[in-house]
Structure 1
């Protein structure tokens, strides 16, 4: 019995071992099958996951580009730079080199607005380098033309007019091949401005005539109205006022056919500016009032109000100007922080300071009852502009606001505060290349030193301002007309006051002789600058010094 039981147990153990072996063998087969399936599926799955991630990265980059464009249009340039930098990195990460090149081009524009020229040049160079190494396609060609347009703008801003013209001409060739007449029109307008600065009037005229003919043949009315308005604005900048008026009236005619109050109001503003340049203030006011009646967007409303306010001062309608002040201040206070908000406050503060001077100079029974803001009120209007510019990290706007605040303290003879703010404005311009505003603070510093009785220091400051103006030359023509004063108010006095200081300066015979020579050179430069301003071009250069002429006459 025990033996049988033992044999039975052995059979059971053997059977269990066989079952265990069979199960293990089946499990191994199942595992191998699973591994085979996973091995077969994994590459395509990995590829699909990678593709989804890249697509998502590209989509995120495109969203960032749209955010950057919105910030740029809102004039929040520093924020736009940060977002566009992220977008460029996202495109690079996804391998989308076309998207990266396009974004770098937009990034350069934002850098240019901030006066960060080295960074702007770097972004353009990187964009062009990427595009050169890509296969030719229509999309690549379009982005290349856009990048060349941006490069041309950078060259012109830096005073490299011939380089600007070369970039724009390359872009024009591409637009012609693509058949993009709209962008070609804008490109030609830029080329005409560059040619005019170089003194090539006939070529500039020919290009502008071509632009006019092209616009006539474009069926899209919205494109025509924008093109005509841009052309009219450029013609005004070039001093071709009659042509500007004709083109802008054509733009107005097309705008009315669109029945868009916003578009019509923008054209009316341009017409008002041209009428003002034609020394026809009443016509200008009429255009501005017509535009205001159309309830335009806030940016256009503020532009209108500021133009009307300064024009009323110009025509000595002081009471009407003060009546307009509450509405102007109210509209400016509605603006979110932006460069436009900063410049609007600067513009109004400058005109209020001018209002106080004008009323003082024209003091009579008609002006005695006009209530003008105090100097403190004007300073309090301007102070937020400085803070806004700082919060935007916009060095150009910050310098302009700080220096203007310094000029208010100068006018109230608070010299210590004026010095401090003027030096801060100058220090801020060191971070950017902005000679068109730098010379104003150098000149302001010279005036302050003169008030302190430091004639030697004043002459040194004036000479620096004079050299800065000399370096500008042709660029004076292209200074933003929305924030510049007239030549007689903002440029001519630098020359004349420097001559006056040099003639006042006392010293030994040698020093006096040097001062007289320098004064004569400054007068020659002033006459040249006056001619350039009259012709709206820096086409004239000094050919020979006065002493060279005299020596030739004497020897003869």
Structure 2
């Protein structure tokens, strides 16, 4: 079939799904995947033999007219006439699958494709079996399951660490790609390779995606054009990743790496630019406006997202926009036209890499002369004509957001509710339903309903809650990808969770809720905050391994269930909201208490402490500790923070005879060494009254008493200077003494030092023997992205977080899990609270029950002193990890009071020497 004929028979599937949260910018992400299938074998076909049932013919007529519901009805009825004809039945199911996709019924599409595959197999039409696998793979990718798609297309996932150096691709014999090769099916091979490349792009394996797409180009010159846009998107995605990595290198002070990555991401953007240009050129030559629209939009998005570097000049951007507006106007009514109009309406010259529906864009390119509004209104009209619920939902939601941003709340709510109704029909657009529920909540919040303030607030909260519930349900898919994929989490998930929490807390603050309901509302706030912290942790690490040990029960249930284990333990959770920060106190068998951080004045009244002031105080507090400028430590700021965070709950904590405080921190509060807060009334640091620990979430903590008598330890360390990625790490002169001390405490140990401590030797040592204690005395860097999170080893090598997890995690025998991991020379990237997520989650990620680590690098002999005392205390029966650390820190505080025979330096009473050492995870 000639290319021109193929193009005339294009049927665009409605494939606007949510692989990533920012995929709501639609066309720029998934056009490539859809186009490949549609151009190659996406048309409906007539069932054989020649005396085809009239129902099949009528279904084809309905389908081509866009009446997909009638087509489905006719074809389903036609199947009754083909019970003994697998060949005809396969064709009808193939057509049904395409119709189901048009109306967003992806589960039914999967079922029909699977039936078609079975019937084609029965009549030994293996070539068609392969094609059906490719189509099925597309549906799975559309549903946010690219790994399932890869399994169908190639039979196995090639992990990034095992990508072959050559272009050779080895798939299993029964995979779609190998079937196409065996039957010399060029179309089938291009489809399989093209969709395979897109699937790898969606899981963040950009190098592998490019390899498969390059291979698709080489199958046949006739189909080369099909992958131009896919390759452009792959290079753009890799460029965005490298730009993020360059920014991380800049913050870490690694100028050589920053320069190298900057050149690489600019090269990737240039390649993407060229592929998009080639796509547009080909489409114009072939007079194919649908394909041209796709290329133009991809180019516009590239220009928008790289505007900071002026990669594409303003003149070219303007000309491309003009071309896109002309083409979209000429397009026939279709999903392509609807999504194109919406994308153009929300186009920005300096666009964020996030959904435009989570904030109000202030610099829309088409903001004047009602151009944006006209496009959005037209998209709503077309979506109704096409009768695709997913399309109707998206168009109405986009128009509702336009009116929301223009403070036309009645209009905004009208269209948003229409979007919710359409998305909720058979859950046809569950991935965007949470967006519209969230949008409805914001609109209801803003509406001026003075006569019905309470009902309006409750209505808004109900919308927020529905959005939260939906997002929690689908978050596992949309947040799961390779570790180097950073989603627009901060712009999408965080605001929704925080808005829901704040709305409930504000509702409590009006004083019109009875005590019983207050308890329930606070419980819901706790669950929302907990879900946010789990999502942040999962987002940082980029996969779901971190949640493998997640307890399905909610926090309140865990407190009741483990009341014995949690006896004498208090939990303080922080939540940073709009302009203010709240603290929740949870105690076993007690109602949750909540207070905003407030500052009392001399008149006895209080005022809310703004987040700006709080963060400034915390920065000053931490700076004073890290610098160790004053020998006699000034406790003023430490006392002020104590009064803000701890004192409001002091009596409740005291009444319950709490001995251990466990902190579950948020944002910039994660970097606070809470042990060093100072009680000015008692003249004591917090650690002198309570053992202190931290955990990312109670649902990730198993409250089991550790085995203090454990004998076997793996002790590794680095004493030499090292250079990693151009950054120099100083020699650690105190490490030899620290290692000797730990070795004396654990006589049954294995030691790896300097050149003997490299990733390979570390892994092999753990493979041979099970160690319950792993002590690492080396630099550990926690960057703002996982790639910059590693442990420095000998020979200028690094033990990455991937390697650490692979070495420590024992999936076959969980009883062999490491009890305790110690990291005693850590560094965190400055200016980004994501760095502390790496510190908080590393023990959980590696399957370790507990961790001891430092919030910053303390290279003094003080580390050896505190670790020695900690391990000695930990090995005594009945002393928990938190209590053992508390005892060690108190000993440091009392340095000036101890007899000279103790041999401890008197300057160690300064909190800079003991406060950064923290307990993470299980504190028992």
TM-score, with structure 1 as normaliser: 0.66
Residue number among 515, 524, 527 corresponding to 2:530 in the alignment:
524
C-alpha change, 1:236 and 1:355, in structure 2 (3 Å) is closer
C-alpha deviation, 1:322, in angstroms: 3.9
| Pair 345,376 (structure 1): closer, same or farther in 2 beyond 3 Å | same
- Aligned pairs for 1:244-255 (under 5 A) are 244-252=209-217, 254=218
Change (3 A) 1:58 1:534: farther
Relative to structure 1, is the Cα distance of residues 424 and 314 closer, same or farther in structure 2, using a 3 angstrom cutoff?
A: same
1:470 alignment counterpart: 472
Do the aligned partners of residues 476 and 462 (structure 1) sit closer, same or farther apart at CA in structure 2, a change above 3 Å counting?
same
Kindly report the root-mean-square deviation, in angstroms, between the aligned alpha carbons of the 2 structures. Answer: 4.8
User: Does 541-550 or 518-527 show the bigger shift?
Assistant: 541-550
Residues 1:304 and 2:284 aligned together: no
SS in 2 for 1:430: helix
Separation (CA, whole Å) in 2 of partners of 1:538 and 1:204:
21
Instruction: Name the CA distance, whole Å, in 2 between partners of 1:60 and 1:392.
Output: 24
- The residue number in structure 2 matching 1:173 is none
Q: Who is 2:413 aligned against?
A: 419
Give the deviation of 1:210 after TM superposition.
Answer: 3.9
Q: 1:124: how far off?
A: 7.3
Q: 1:342 aligns with which of 321, 324, 338?
A: 338
In 2, the alpha carbon distance for the partners of 1:202 and 1:458 equals 44
**Deviations 1:207-243, CA, capped at 9 Å, x for gaps:** x974399869766666554433322211110111232
Q: 2:228 maps to what in 1?
A: 265
1:430 aligns with 2:424: yes
In the alignment, is the contact (CA less than 8 A) between 2:498 and 2:529 conserved in 1?
yes
Q: Is the 8 A contact 2:194 2:216 kept in 1?
A: yes
> Separation in 2 of the partners of 1:152 and 1:324?
33
Q: Mapping of 1:370-389 within 5 angstroms?
A: 372-374=366-368, 376-389=370-383
More helix by share: 1
Q: Do 2:360 and 2:405's aligned partners in 1 also have CA atoms closer than 8 Å?
A: no
Whether 1:232 aligns to 2:197 is yes
The size of the alignment, in residue pairs, is: 450
Superimposed CA distance per residue, residues 412-444 of structure 1 (whole angstroms, 9 cap, x where no aligned partner): 001110011111111222323121111111000
1:292 and 2:280 are equivalent in the alignment: yes
Deviations 1:233-285 (A, max 9, x none): 11110111232233334444x16x62656235345434444334434363333
Q: Tell me the alpha carbon deviations over residues 426-477 of structure 1, each in whole angstroms, 9 at most, x when there is no partner.
A: 1222323121111111000100111126333222211111001112133425
Which residue of 1 is the match for residue 550 of structure 2?
543
Q: Unaligned 5+ residue runs, structure 1?
A: 1-53, 169-184, 480-484
Matches within 5 A, 1:79-478: 79-83=67-71, 85-86=73-74, 89=77, 92-93=80-81, 97-98=85-86, 99-116=88-105, 137-139=123-125, 187-189=152-154, 210-211=170-171, 223-252=188-217, 254=218, 258=221, 262-263=225-226, 265-278=228-241, 279=243, 280=265, 282-283=269-270, 284-295=272-283, 297-316=288-307, 319-320=314-315, 321-351=317-347, 372-374=366-368, 376-433=370-427, 434-452=429-447, 454-476=456-478
Asked if the contact 2:196/2:209 (under 8 Å) is kept, the reply is yes
Q: Distance in 1 between matches of 2:337 and 2:200?
A: 27
Please report how far the alpha carbon of residue 116 of structure 1 lies from its aligned counterpart in structure 2 after TM superposition: 4.0
Q: Specify whether residues 371 and 447 from structure 1 end up closer, same or farther in structure 2 by C-alpha distance, changes over 3 A only.
A: closer
Q: CA deviation at 1:396?
A: 1.0
Return the index of the structure with the highest Cα Rg. Answer: 1
Deviation at 1:121, TM superposition (A): 8.0
Does the CA contact (< 8 Å) of 1:84 and 1:103 recur in 2?
no
Q: TM-score, normalised by structure 2?
A: 0.42
In structure 2, do the counterparts of structure 1 residues 266 and 96 end up closer, same or farther at CA, with 3 Å as the change threshold? farther
Cα distance in 2 between the residues matched to 1:62 and 1:203: 49
Aligned counterparts of 1:231 and 1:152: Cα–Cα separation in 2: 8
After superposition, give the CA deviation of every residue in 1:296-343 in whole Å (9 maximum; x if it has no partner).
Answer: 643332222212222322233594544432111111112211112211
Change (3 A) 1:325 1:221: same
Listed as ranges, the gaps of 5+ residues in structure 2 are: 1-47, 244-264, 449-455, 482-486, 569-923
Q: Does residue 1:501 correspond to 2:503, yes or no? A: yes
> How far apart are the structure 1 equivalents of 2:280 and 2:121?
51
Higher strand residue share: 2
